[in-house]
């Protein structure tokens, strides 16, 4: 007996897979990038973690947020907040942004066009190309 399994297409029509599995490619991408240690966003009230950006990075890289293949820029965030839709019209429930404290941004001295090597607990975790500050 053969069983045919039907899988509907992923949201947005494509499944994002941005995980770099080739070590040499990953090392080359990280070369010369400014290092930044990512940490959870903390609650002002009690200091407990309210958001862990590493989970969002993994969700983008593994396609859990397809069709997103990067963090949203301002115009996409505005569209999602107003219409609950990405710029290409696909439904999306909430903005996905990479935000860091202004003080950290100043210390890093990075600008649009630069690359960040994001580290988690001191270990290389992801590479982020800065498209918009």
Task: Assign residue 93 the CATH number of its domain.
Answer: 3.10.400.10
Establish if 60 belongs to a structural domain: yes
pLDDT digits (tens, 9 = 90+) for 58-115: 999 999 999 999 999 999 999 999 999 999 999 999 999 998 888 999 999 999 999 9
Instruction: Kindly state the helix (H) or strand (E) to which residue 107 belongs, with its residue range.
Output: helix 102-108
What Å distances lie between residue 37 and 17, 25, 94, 117, CA to CA?
A: 23, 21, 25, 8
pLDDT digits (tens, 9 = 90+) for 9-31: 888 888 899 999 999 999 999 99
Supply the pTM of this predicted model.
Answer: 0.83
Domain count, the chain: 1
pLDDT attached to residue 2: 76
Establish if 69 belongs to a structural domain: yes
Expressed as residue numbers, the domain containing 67 is 23-129
């Amino acid at each position: 007996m053969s069983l045919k399994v039907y899988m509907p297409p992923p949201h947005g029509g494509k499944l994002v897979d941005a995980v770099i599995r080739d070590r040499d490619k990953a090392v080359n991408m990280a070369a010369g990038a400014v290092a930044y240690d990512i940490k959870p966003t903390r609650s002002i009230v009690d200091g407990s973690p309210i958001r862990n950006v590493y989970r969002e990075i993994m969700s983008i890289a593994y396609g859990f947020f397809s069709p997103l293949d990067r963090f949203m820029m301002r115009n996409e965030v505005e569209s999602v907040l107003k219409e609950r839709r990405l710029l290409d019209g696909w439904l999306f429930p909430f903005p996905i942004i990479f935000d860091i404290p202004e003080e950290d941004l100043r210390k890093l001295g990075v600008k649009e066009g630069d690359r960040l090597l994001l580290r988690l607990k001191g270990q290389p975790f992801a590479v982020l190309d800065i498209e918009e500050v």
